[in-house]
C-alpha cells in the first residue's frame, strides 16, 4: 500500500471533491463540512483508494489529506501538492520525501507551495 499526504491551509468546504473528481473515478467524499475527520473512497486505475481528511493538523490551520492505495494518481507528495495547488487557492505543504517515521523532525524541511511559488521551508 502506498500513500500520499499533503497539508492544505484554511481548507474550504467542497474544494477537495472539486479537485479530486477530475483525477479519480467513483469518488465518495462529503467535504461539505471540513471541521471533523472525513473518510471517503475512490478508484484509480482499477485500484481502490482510501481518502481521509484530518482537520486541525499542524497548528490548527491545516488539514491533512491522505490518499492510500495500490496505485495512486501521483508519484510523490510534491506531484500531488502541485496538482492540488492548481485548483486550491491557498498554501499547500508536503514532505520532501526524505523523512521516515521515527526520525527526528526538528529541522525538517517541507515544500511550501503558494502564490510566491515553491520553496523548501522549516514548518514554523
Catalogue all structural domains in the chain, each as residue range(s) with its CATH number.
2-122 (3.30.310)
Phi, psi of 16 (to 5 degrees): -65, -40
**Tens-digit pLDDT string for the chain (124 aa):** 999 999 999 999 999 999 999 999 999 999 999 999 999 999 999 999 999 999 998 778 999 999 999 999 999 999 999 999 999 889 999 998 755 556 655 557 899 999 999 999 998 7
Q: What's the pTM? A: 0.91
The helix or strand, by DSSP H or E, that contains position 84, with its residue range, turns out to be: helix 77-87
Contact 25, 18 (CB under 8 A): no
**pLDDT at position 8, please?**
97
Instruction: Read off the C-alpha cell for 98.
Output: 526524505
Amino acid at each position: 500500500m502506498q500513500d500520499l499526504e499533503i497539508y492544505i491551509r484554511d481548507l474550504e468546504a467542497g474544494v477537495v471533491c472539486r479537485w479530486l473528481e477530475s483525477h479519480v473515478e467513483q469518488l465518495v467524499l462529503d467535504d461539505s463540512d471540513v471541521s471533523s475527520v472525513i473518510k471517503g473512497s475512490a478508484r484509480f486505475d482499477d485500484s481502490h483508494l482510501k481518502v481521509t481528511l484530518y482537520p486541525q493538523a499542524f497548528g490548527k490551520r491545516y488539514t491533512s489529506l491522505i490518499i492510500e492505495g495500490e496505485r495512486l494518481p501521483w508519484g510523490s507528495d510534491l506531484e500531488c501538492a502541485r496538482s492540488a495547488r492548481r485548483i486550491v487557492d491557498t498554501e499547500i505543504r508536503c514532505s520532501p520525501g526524505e523523512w521516515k517515521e521515527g526520525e527526528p523532525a526538528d529541522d525538517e524541511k517541507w515544500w511550501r507551495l503558494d502564490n510566491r511559488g515553491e520553496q523548501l521551508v522549516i514548518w514554523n
